[in-house]
C-alpha cells in the first residue's frame, strides 16, 4: 500500500527566519569568524545587488551564496560544528518557528503520513531540528569533512532548486518507500522550490515570495496563509 508524504521546507516555511542570520548571531555573540563574515559580505554584496537589479541570474547567485557559506566552518572539527548547530537550533530556529505551519506538520503526523524536511540547510543541523520536531526524515546539504575537519566546502549537489526534487527522489528509492505522489503534500516559500512542489498533487505555497505566489495563483495551488 502506498504512503502519503508531507514535505516541508525550512527557511521561510517552517520558520520565519533564515539560517544565515543564526550563524551571524552565533559568530557575533561568541566573537568568532568576524573577519570571515566581513570578507564574505564584501564578496557577495555586489552579486546580490546585481541579482536585485536583474543583471545577474538570481538562482546562480543564490547557489554561490549557499555554497560559499560553508566556508564559515573551514578548519572546524565535527564536534565544533555540532556545537554551532545546537546553538543555532536553540537560539535562532526554535524562536522563529511558525506555529501555523508547525500545526500543519503535526496534523500530517497524526494522519499517519510520512513527514520529511527538505532544505538547503546542512544535514546535521536538520537532524537536530528534526529531533526537536519529531521528524526523523531530513534531506539537506552535506559538509565536506576530511580527517575529522571541515574543508569549508560542501559535498555536491547542493540541496536547492532542481536538486531538492532529485535528492528527494533518491531518498524515496534508497529507503524503498512506495509514495502516492498524487495524494502527497509539499510546503515551501520560494520560487526556487517549484520543482519540489510540482512532485506532489497537493502543493502549498507557504508564506510565498512574490514569484511563487504568482505561479501558485496561475496554477490554482493552495496558498498559506
Domains along the chain with CATH numbers: 5-224 (3.40.50.1000)
Q: Which residues of 89-103 are buried (b: 16+ CB within 10 A; e: fewer)?
A: beebbeeebbeebee
Query: What does the pLDDT look like over 1-41, one tens digit per residue?
Result: 799 999 999 999 999 989 999 999 999 999 888 888 888 88
Q: Which helix (H) or strand (E) holds 115?
A: strand 114-122
6 near 113, Cβ under 8 Å?
yes
Cα three-residue angle 169-171-176, rounded to 5 degrees: 95
Closest CA to 140 of 129, 151, 149, 148: 129
Query: What does the pLDDT look like over 116-138, one tens digit per residue?
Result: 999 999 999 999 999 999 999 99
Amino acid at each position: 500500500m502506498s504512503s502519503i508524504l508531507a514535505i516541508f521546507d525550512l527557511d521561510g516555511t517552517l520558520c520565519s527566519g533564515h539560517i544565515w542570520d543564526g550563524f551571524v548571531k552565533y559568530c557575533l555573540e561568541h566573537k568568532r569568524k568576524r573577519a570571515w563574515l566581513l570578507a564574505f559580505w564584501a564578496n557577495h554584496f555586489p552579486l546580490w545587488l546585481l541579482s536585485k537589479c536583474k543583471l545577474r541570474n538570481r538562482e546562480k547567485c543564490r547557489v554561490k551564496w549557499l555554497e560559499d557559506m560553508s566556508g564559515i566552518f573551514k578548519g572546524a572539527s565535527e564536534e565544533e560544528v555540532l556545537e554551532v548547530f545546537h546553538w543555532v537550533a536553540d537560539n535562532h530556529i526554535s524562536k522563529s518557528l511558525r506555529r501555523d505551519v508547525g500545526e500543519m506538520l503535526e496534523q500530517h503526523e497524526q494522519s499517519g503520513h510520512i513527514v520529511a524536511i527538505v532544505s538547503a540547510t546542512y544535514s546535521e543541523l536538520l537532524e537536530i531540528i528534526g529531533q526537536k520536531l519529531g521528524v526523523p526524515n531530513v534531506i539537506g546539504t552535506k559538509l565536506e569533512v576530511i580527517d575529522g575537519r571541515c574543508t569549508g566546502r560542501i559535498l555536491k549537489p547542493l540541496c536547492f532548486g532542481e536538486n531538492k526534487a532529485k535528492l528527494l527522489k533518491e531518498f524515496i528509492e534508497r529507503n524503498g518507500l512506495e509514495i502516492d505522489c498524487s495524494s502527497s503534500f509539499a510546503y515551501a516559500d520560494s520560487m526556487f522550490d517549484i520543482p519540489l512542489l510540482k512532485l506532489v498533487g497537493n502543493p502549498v505555497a507557504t508564506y510565498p515570495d512574490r514569484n511563487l505566489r504568482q505561479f501558485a495563483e496561475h496554477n490554482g495551488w493552495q496558498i498559506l496563509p
